[in-house]
Structures are given as structure tokens and as C-alpha cells.
Chain A
């Protein structure tokens, strides 16, 4: 991948539910985020918020249920939900080049 990522990594999710996918971090690629607010408006758990420049950041990371609605609708492909299984392919996730 050519682009470099500015991770807004936060402390590990405190989500306790077993069924829930564990979200480790929400990566907002700041260089591509135009601050349209679509991800913030359509997040069912109100995880995301906009900073003073309008760009998205995870405000309540622990509430994220990894529904991927933000990834699905981001017009600029700037947001990635990083779950444990994605980061750790051995645990059944998919590896990324």
C-alpha cells in the first residue's frame, strides 16, 4: 500500500460481550478525510465525533459494534475499523498486504 496511515490508536476495547467483535482501534486517515460528517451522523452507537476541523475521530471506541456502516458510506475511503481478527490473521482474520 502506498499511503501511510496516521493511526488514532486508543487503549484496547473494554467491550465485554463475547459475541461482539473486539474493536481495537478506529483508523481515520486524516489526509483523505474531508470532514463531511457522514460517518458521524450514521453511526448507530454514536462512537464517532468531529474535531475542530470537522474530521472524524473515535470518541467512544468501546461502544463500537463493528457494524461497518462508516466504512460502507465514507465517500473518501478514509475510515477503517480495526478488529482483533483483522489485526491477527491467525485468529481467523484476513491479512492485508
Chain B
């Protein structure tokens, strides 16, 4: 019998103000539940997990959970995470970032963390907009969509986070929507257990900003939109590029073995000391 809500209560900090700060129906809450279930599945204790977040709506996420948590500066979640991992490699470091946080302000940190292949799990919430600051367009706002700083339409092409992570050299990349919460659990669990830099792009909705400005309706309507547009990667391989226009390709995009940074670093240390 699956335990969801009761299980989640065991991981929350009940001295914090609940219900949480996010809008009614926000996907961040669904991801928080998913993340807790995934961590529970891995069997890791609360003390072994470090949650690092940047700035944005999802920056608030680690505040609510009873792990080692760190709320850092804008775009710098991965840099703090790198420091933590190298200082104590026995910890499982998970970063929570938004699309603006990871792609715009922390864009360089993201690609270099992927290239370096440090054993950190990066969970990126992609809601295609800067939700907290008033709905400005972000690097992942699709072409032609509206935002408060693109009142006619966005004239820039959007970043494809997962594809960027694949090209930058991450050893595990997956994408899933918050609608498919159970699949998201499994994906996050795999990413946490993966040795090396692992990226989970979580396609979520911001009905307050993105949905309202683009007339996409309520949280329920946007979840239905995710349900109708998500295409598993196996099915997408058989589809034409035209048919995939505007679709969300979900599943594991890359899962490969690469030398992990901390291990390589220890080898260099041993060599420098003349031990090997």
C-alpha cells in the first residue's frame, strides 16, 4: 500500500509555516512530494542528504524539509554544492534550481558542473518564466509566448535544458512533468543514485504568471496540457520533427558512465604525494 501524504509528513519541518508559500496548485509542491518519496526510496537518511537551492520560488523548497539545507545566492546553488561535495564526498548533494537560476544567472556554473562531472544531482524546475519577480521572460520562455517584459511576444529562442546538459557532458539527464508524479519519483531516485553529474529537468507550470499571460488557464488546465503534450523518449524516436513541435520529450535522455570528478581529484592527490 503506497504511503504518500503520511510519509511526507515525516520529512517536513513542522516548526515552519504551513501551508507553504507557493500559489494554490503550484507544481513546486508536487515536486517537493516527489523528491521526498524518491529520497525515501533510496534509503538514505536525513543526515546524508544536502539540499542546496538558489533564488526563486523553488529557492524556498529546502526550507520545508528536514535535511541539511542551504539557501544560497542567485544562480550559485551548484557552486555551493561543488564546495560541499568536495569537502565531504560522503554526502549526497542535491541542488534545486529554477530555469532562470540555472540557465541565466547560473548558466556558466551549470555547463561547467556538467563538463566536470561532479557527483551532484541538479533538479531544475522549468516553468518557462520568472515567476517570483513578476513574470519576466526567462531563457526558457518559448518563442512567441508572452511575458511581462515581452508584452507582444518573446522574440528569442528558448534553451532546451536537457539537451544542453547532454551536450555539456552530464552523465545522467532526464526530463519529466509534474503531472506524471509517479514517473518523476523514479527518475529522481535514479538521478540521486547515479554517480556523476545528474540532471532532472522537471517541467512544471506557473499558472499565476505564465499561464495567466498566455491564457493557458488554471493549474488544472496546465497540468492537462502537460499530460497531453508529454511524449516518452522511446515514442519520440519514431516521430518526425514536425510532429514533435511543442511536445515535451520525457524520460531518460542520457545515462552513461564517465570519470567522476572527486575520484579523479583523489587520484591526482595520491600521485602528487608520490603514493601511486
Smallest CB gap from A33: residue in B = B19
In contact, A72 and B14 (Cβ under 8 angstroms): no
In contact, A83 and B25 (Cβ under 8 angstroms): no
Encode contact with B along A27-47: 1 for CB under 8 Å, 0 otherwise.
Answer: 000011111111001100000
- For the complex, is A13 an interface residue (Cβ under 8 Å from B)? no
A-chain residues with CB within 8 Å of residue B33 when the two chains form the complex: 72, 74-75, 77
**Between A and B, how many residue pairs show CB distances below 8 Å?**
87
Which A residues between 58 and 97 are near B, CB-CB below 8 angstroms? 68, 71-80, 83, 85-86, 93-94, 96-97
Q: How many whole Å from B164's CB to the nearest CB in chain A? A: 27
In contact, A73 and B8 (Cβ under 8 angstroms): no
B-chain residues with CB within 8 Å of residue A2 when the two chains form the complex: 14-15
Bound Cα distance from A26 to B29, whole angstroms: 20
Bound Cα distance from A21 to B218, whole angstroms: 32
Smallest CB gap from B6: residue in A = A96
- For the complex, is B89 an interface residue (Cβ under 8 Å from A)? no
In contact, B24 and A35 (Cβ under 8 angstroms): yes
Q: How many whole Å from A6's CB to the nearest CB in chain B? A: 14
In contact, B25 and A71 (Cβ under 8 angstroms): no
In contact, A34 and B30 (Cβ under 8 angstroms): no
- For the complex, is B18 an interface residue (Cβ under 8 Å from A)? yes
B-chain residues with CB within 8 Å of residue A83 when the two chains form the complex: 1
Could you tell me which B residues sit within 8 Å of A by CB distance? Answer: 1-6, 8-10, 12, 14-15, 18-20, 22-30, 32-33, 178-179, 181-182, 218-220, 223-224
Could you tell me which A residues sit within 8 Å of B by CB distance? Answer: 1-3, 21, 31-38, 41-42, 68, 71-80, 83, 85-86, 93-94, 96-97
18 pairs, A vs B, C-beta closer than 8 Å: A31-B18, A34-B23, A36-B220, A37-B218, A38-B219, A38-B220, A41-B223, A42-B223, A68-B4, A71-B2, A72-B181, A74-B33, A75-B24, A76-B20, A76-B24, A80-B6, A83-B1, A86-B1
